[in-house]
Structure 1
């Protein structure tokens, strides 16, 4: 295992600053390819593996559990529950009864006796946060979950959760997993990072590479064959592949080249140079991508450099 990988904290967990996003497992790659990617990640020093019951309709969790095998205890397994896309009709994602069902199903698919980092995938406006946090605290008390997190939360929801945790004397979420990249900075602009600092939470960015836009393989509005964006249509694709974004990528690529770096190194280094960030979730479908993502974390930027890059990206 690599000794150079920096480790940071999510609650009591020690996680590699580069994590592996497993959303490709069971959707774009099969079990054998997933095994190869997991092996490469562990060899590179990655210990944080992020999945969800939503991904591949449970296949992602199954493939990850099988790929880890006897090395389960060497890594941090993170999964998510409560996304509307993975819920039975009429079910609420943060409902304590559903959390009980969801955790048992995930434990079975992952072939493990505990989930190290269990995250609410989307806010549930209908279930009081105190009820959700209370149910998660029970799972922590039982040893089925070690740390909890939320995802796609606003600053207001983060503050509300912190208040609810105090009120019921339960643990608060240790992290928030939101869309965050040099091109998408809502977590900064809308106070999410400030709320995390107030409440003792850390940030886990997803889509750090804007679905491949920040890897250097896009030269125009047509995605390369096999790229994730080539499979997406309509609004989801347009969110990433806009003229403004492509123009920003050109500016950032020039800046990175002048500094002796790639656009990939800029994208990942910009996030890992932010102390509010715990681990950057990077997806991969082959070992070479894992190696590139890990190597990219070596660019340590000053706050002034990060600001300069953010201005170029705007």
Structure 2
């Protein structure tokens, strides 16, 4: 597995990371153990979770148990800020410390490699959040800090504050990015590139639409789309089905799958440090890792741009 630099932090992460949002929700401890073992065997070193995953805390607890002694060999990332019910939410200094201590306890570790602000907190000045995160780095509880779902302007503001106060800056941003969702290319990615931050894209398969298992008018039982009308409405649009058809043809004409195209395209983007992908079965881990191996040429990348950002022609 290729190891990449996480922005300009000096930390390295696997080109494909494991998103742990299914642990404690769709997966019990035994299934979590199997997925984590498969990830470790495939060379995945980035394990990304959040306090809110797994019905608030379940993902961290199960991931910690599944990793055991392997924790020291991997990059462990978690996030804070979402509503944790009675425990609170947000990015105020006192809450950050409380949230981190709870995450460390659930994960069974005394430090995180990467601690990320999950969502913006309009009630807390960004300077207060960054100042507290800087203290946690100095205390050795956190090695590096990142953000998720912030606007380009907020990321730029955070960088300016960190420089002004000599604080630890955000080294990464975790945002939705895929062949079908490319909005962040307009403003956020240029800022990340300028600041030498690493992008950790989530939903690389557009909630599964790029997995290759969906056809227009047919939604298999037990899939994410089968249980979410909102996801269907957002992703299963005529425009996206048109793009998926052309992308499938593009991949298959080169003896690759749609899934392999989705991962390899993301891995080819200079700003991407690691592609965050969830899994519910060990075999999905192997598929995801293998999928990122396709080295796309400049001509192929241009053709993909035409399909996904230009006026795509209807697929046959």
Distance 1:28 1:223 in 2: 18
Partner of 2:240: 245
Structure 2 length as normaliser, TM-score? 0.94
Distance 1:88 1:153 in 2: 25
Of the three residues 94, 98, 101, the one matched with 1:101 is 98
The count of residues paired between Structure 1 and Structure 2 equals 306
Q: Is the 8 A contact 1:273 1:302 kept in 2?
A: no
Distance 2:227 2:47 in 1: 24
The answer on 1:311 being equivalent to 2:312 is: no
Q: Is the 8 A contact 1:256 1:266 kept in 2?
A: yes
Partner of 1:224: 220
Partner of 2:61: 62
The answer on 1:203 being equivalent to 2:199 is: yes
Distance 1:237 1:179 in 2: 16
Structure 1 length as normaliser, TM-score? 0.94
Distance 1:223 1:86 in 2: 32
Change beyond 3 A, Cα 1:95–1:225: same
Q: 4+ runs of 1 displaced by more than 6 Å? A: none
The answer on 1:279 being equivalent to 2:278 is: no
Partner of 1:47: 45
Unpaired segments of 5 or more residues in structure 2? 310-316
Distance 2:274 2:77 in 1: 12
Change beyond 3 A, Cα 1:39–1:92: closer
Partner of 2:312: none
Higher mean C-alpha deviation, range 245-254 or range 222-231: 222-231
Distance 1:82 1:183 in 2: 27
Distance 2:196 2:217 in 1: 40
Distance 2:177 2:298 in 1: 17
Partner of 2:313: none
Of the three residues 197, 211, 214, the one matched with 2:210 is 214
Change beyond 3 A, Cα 1:294–1:145: same
SS at match of 1:215: coil
Distance 2:67 2:100 in 1: 19
Q: Is the 8 A contact 1:256 1:263 kept in 2?
A: yes
Q: Is the 8 A contact 2:207 2:231 kept in 1?
A: no
